[in-house]
Amino acid sequence: MRHFTSVHDVQDLNQLLKEAFELKKDPFKYEHLGKHKTICLLFFNSSLRTRLSSQKAAKNLGMEPIVFNINDEGWKIETEFGVVMDGDKTEHIKEAAGVIGRYADIIGVRAFPGLKDRTYDYSEPIIKQFIQYSGAPVVSLESATRHPLQSFADVITIEEFKKKERPKVVLSWAPHPKALPQSVPNSFAEWVIAAGYEVVITHPKGYELDPSFTKGATIEYDQNKAFEGADFIYGKNWSSYADYGKILNTDRSWTISAEKMKLTNDAKFMHCLPVRRNMIVTDEVIDSPNSIVLDEAENRTYSAQTVFKKILENLK
């Protein structure tokens, strides 16, 4: 593996899962692999789990992590080409990426979408420019359209908790006061489809995701019907893809409640976090024994560590 930006960078998902479980059992098995290697974790946006789990994963492999909140602490970065830089942007992404590539053996980048221009966001300018101009392997720490380390951790978690070979996994839209990216649901859909689960996506009309991420999933507009017999409920809000970046609905009848969970096959509740309590999910559900949100968060270390290990093995 050279870059990691989506499930398409994974040659063999079963093998990757095996390696993740090996690392979870014995996190320091490869503690010398990253000796004298540097990973730069670059954040254009906020983070809790991604930042901490990536640092921990890097340290478990013997790597030195440098964490840089570029928007708060760095020069303002210009990402457009051919512009006269006479405004507030000090440094071009071409030099910034090139410089970081001289310091780091691996670069992790988090850059959310602007949610204004769909074509621009879905062309993944930031992550692509880092790949092109840094000369280093690039790991997505959530890009405009995907959050692959989260989705990989989600699949690890489903594998740990599933009671049947092919569980029914339901991705449910839920209300939120802010316009959020489609990255987490896009990415979750493509990973759980690749894992071979029965995948159902439920959301109000107008919240259809880009169909290139959901091919192989069933779209069910009736949330109650979608929940019937589910083994896993994955709650998440996203803004509209069709009416790009817009909030079309804040209907709290979509909030994941104990009553809705009763329709399922004693399903586990999942969410990538951070989660807005009593908007996305009621206190009762997230505080119930069926909630596995902390297990998911714990597995972020092993999804990151597995990916960093694959990239390190490919460096030499």
Q: Which of 39, 291, 265 is nearest to 149 (CA)?
A: 39
Segment lying near ligand SN0 (by CB under 6 A), choices 29-37, 55-63, 180-188, 296-304: 180-188
Cβ atoms 170, 139 nearer than 8 A: no
Q: Which residue has the tokens 């995701």?
A: 209
Q: Which is nearer to ligand SN0, 49 or 92 (CB)?
A: 49
Longest dimension (CA), the chain: 60
Segment lying near ligand SN0 (by CB under 6 A), choices 19-27, 221-229, 272-280, 288-296: 272-280
Nearest distance from residue 52's CB to ligand SN0, in Å?
13
Segment lying near ligand SN0 (by CB under 6 A), choices 151-159, 164-172, 178-186, 203-211: 178-186
Strand, coil or helix: 234: strand
Candidates 16, 170, 180, 209; binder of ligand SN0 (CB under 6 A) is: 180
**Count, residues near ligand SN0 per rule CB under 6 A:** 8
Distance CA 46, CA 180 (A): 13
Does position 181 interact with ligand SN0 (CB under 6 A)? The reply is: yes
Segment lying near ligand SN0 (by CB under 6 A), choices 3-11, 28-36, 257-265, 271-279: 271-279
Q: Which is nearer to ligand SN0, 184 or 293 (CB)?
A: 184
Q: Which is nearer to ligand SN0, 168 or 271 (CB)?
A: 271
Candidates 201, 217, 272, 292; binder of ligand SN0 (CB under 6 A) is: 272
Candidates 85, 274, 283, 314; binder of ligand SN0 (CB under 6 A) is: 274
Candidates 140, 183, 255, 291; binder of ligand SN0 (CB under 6 A) is: 183
Cβ atoms 208, 242 nearer than 8 A: yes
The alpha-helical segments, DSSP class H, found in the chain are 13-25, 49-60, 70-73, 93-103, 118-122, 125-134, 148-161, 183-194, 211-214, 223-227, 258-261, 283-286, 293-315
Q: How many residues does the chain have?
A: 316
Does position 109 interact with ligand SN0 (CB under 6 A)? The reply is: no
Q: What are phi and psi of 26, to 5 degrees?
A: -140, 75
Q: Which of 86, 38, 44 is nearest to 59 (CA)?
A: 38
Does position 280 interact with ligand SN0 (CB under 6 A)? The reply is: no
Does position 184 interact with ligand SN0 (CB under 6 A)? The reply is: yes
Cβ atoms 273, 297 nearer than 8 A: yes
Nearest distance from residue 189's CB to ligand SN0, in Å?
14
Nearest distance from residue 302's CB to ligand SN0, in Å?
17
Report the residue number whose CB is nearest to ligand SN0: 180
Cβ atoms < 10 Å from Cβ of 90: 12
User: What are the residues binding ligand SN0 (CB under 6 A)?
Assistant: 178, 180-181, 183-184, 272, 274, 276
